[in-house]
Copies of this chain bind each other. A is one copy, B any other.
């Protein structure tokens, strides 16, 4: 059984469909992975995830290490059985959270010179950091990051990398990238040592900040290693889509075509999904759909967005396919969030009811809106897969411009 099979290559772009096979089920790509940071996709239960046909969810090694701890999860037979989810799980390596914690404390500086801070200390062997929960000291190394992920028992695990902001200076970006490459080798060595019965797939992560020469070098080095999939990392991936697209244009021609391609942190807007899928990306995750749902910000399709646009003025790219249900104009609106949407929320409830739930600060609001936003992204992925198979991806993308 091969881990990843490309099922169709679109004629007019780099977009492709595929299937990733894991012990907990198959994943059709391109796929959006809902984020379940602390052992739950916020506001949803495992039945909801099955109903939404989420084929894979993401868990965060950083958060799960701090609470409840990988040893407790391992005692329960791993994250699947601890949280009651029998579908595939991908865990990140913890690097992104550890380093972005450091960046936050650099916030006063215009250009962070490096990833060192009061909360984060990096050396060649690994990184020492303080818990955001209780200030206790913890340490991740490439070996421990792999070990923790094996204890969590995910189906796909990630190499431990040093994630840099894209605006660090080139010297530091080069140092961090080279360290990431050395750590990548150690992750592969540790993965080989681990005696887990059903070995997870291990993905490598390339870095290089905003520097073309570094990005190309990192793409070559990580691609040459024995990884099951290749991720494009960096703090601006997903957050700055212009930078993301430029970086992808440099590295995609280098990455082996037959391995899954993963952009970490992409999915603020439906438009972002189109942009990376067009470049041949197979997997992505983002907290946006669930996080903005809890603020009442809900995705809508082009037809609905157009109505809103005509009635209530222009929107920027990020806001274009969203409505905010807290707006007073929805207080008496009997239509669903999106009349073309088939999620439980849209089939059952009006905008007015959801508006009321937010005003009354009712917990149900967060669940109903999360269901909608996650369904919206997963349905969009299914529609993209269809469009790719029919070689009309670019035409489909055009409907969303």
User: A: which residues have CB within 8 A of B?
Assistant: 38-40, 42-47, 63, 67-68, 72, 75-76, 82-84, 331-332, 334, 344, 348-350, 352-353, 356-357, 359-360, 362-364, 366-368
Residues of B within 8 Å of A40, CB to CB, are 357, 362, 364
Check A72/B348 contact, CB under 8 A, given A39-B356, A42-B362. no
* Additional pairs, 11, CB under 8 Å, beyond known A47-B344, A82-B352: A39-B356, A42-B362, A45-B348, A45-B367, A45-B368, A67-B356, A72-B352, A76-B352, A76-B353, A84-B348, A367-B367
Say which residue of B42, B72, B75, B84 sits within 8 Å of A349 (CB atoms).
B84
B362 lies within 8 A of A68 (CB): no
B42 lies within 8 A of A364 (CB): yes
Check A364/B75 contact, CB under 8 A, given A84-B349, A331-B68, A353-B83. no
A353 lies within 8 A of B84 (CB): yes
Residues of B within 8 Å of A352, CB to CB, are 68, 72, 76, 82
Question: How far, in whole Å, are A63 and B359 apart by their CA atoms in the complex?
Answer: 12
B348 lies within 8 A of A46 (CB): yes
Residues of B within 8 Å of A72, CB to CB, are 331-332, 352
Question: How far, in whole Å, are A80 and B44 apart by their CA atoms in the complex?
Answer: 24
Q: Smallest Cβ distance from A384 to chain B, in angstroms? A: 29
Check A362/B38 contact, CB under 8 A, given A68-B352, A331-B68, A367-B45. yes
Question: How far, in whole Å, are A46 and B348 apart by their CA atoms in the complex?
Answer: 9
Q: Smallest Cβ distance from A68 to chain B, in angstroms? A: 5
Question: How far, in whole Å, are A76 and B354 apart by their CA atoms in the complex?
Answer: 13
Residue of B nearest to A361 (CB): B38
Say which residue of B42, B47, B360 sits within 8 Å of A67 (CB atoms).
B360
Check A68/B359 contact, CB under 8 A, given A39-B353, A332-B75, A350-B76. yes
Residue of B nearest to A45 (CB): B364
B75 lies within 8 A of A359 (CB): no
Residues of B within 8 Å of A43, CB to CB, are 363-364
Please indicate which of the listed interface residues A39, A360, A367 has the most CB atoms of chain B within 10 Å of its own CB. Answer: A360
Q: Smallest Cβ distance from A347 to chain B, in angstroms? A: 9
Q: Smallest Cβ distance from A151 to chain B, in angstroms? A: 15
Residues of B within 8 Å of A84, CB to CB, are 348-349, 353
Residue of B nearest to A356 (CB): B68
Residues of B within 8 Å of A42, CB to CB, are 362-364
Ranked 8 nearest A-B pairs via Cβ: A43-B363, A38-B360, A40-B364, A68-B356, A84-B348, A40-B362, A84-B349, A363-B366
What are 20 A-B pairs with beta-carbon distances under 8 A?
A: A38-B362, A39-B353, A39-B357, A39-B362, A42-B362, A45-B344, A45-B348, A63-B360, A67-B359, A68-B356, A68-B359, A75-B332, A76-B334, A76-B352, A76-B353, A82-B350, A82-B352, A84-B353, A363-B366, A367-B367
Question: How far, in whole Å, are A255 and B294 apart by their CA atoms in the complex?
Answer: 49
Question: How far, in whole Å, are A40 and B357 apart by their CA atoms in the complex?
Answer: 8
Residue of B nearest to A357 (CB): B40
Question: How far, in whole Å, are A271 and B377 apart by their CA atoms in the complex?
Answer: 48
Question: How far, in whole Å, are A40 and B365 apart by their CA atoms in the complex?
Answer: 10
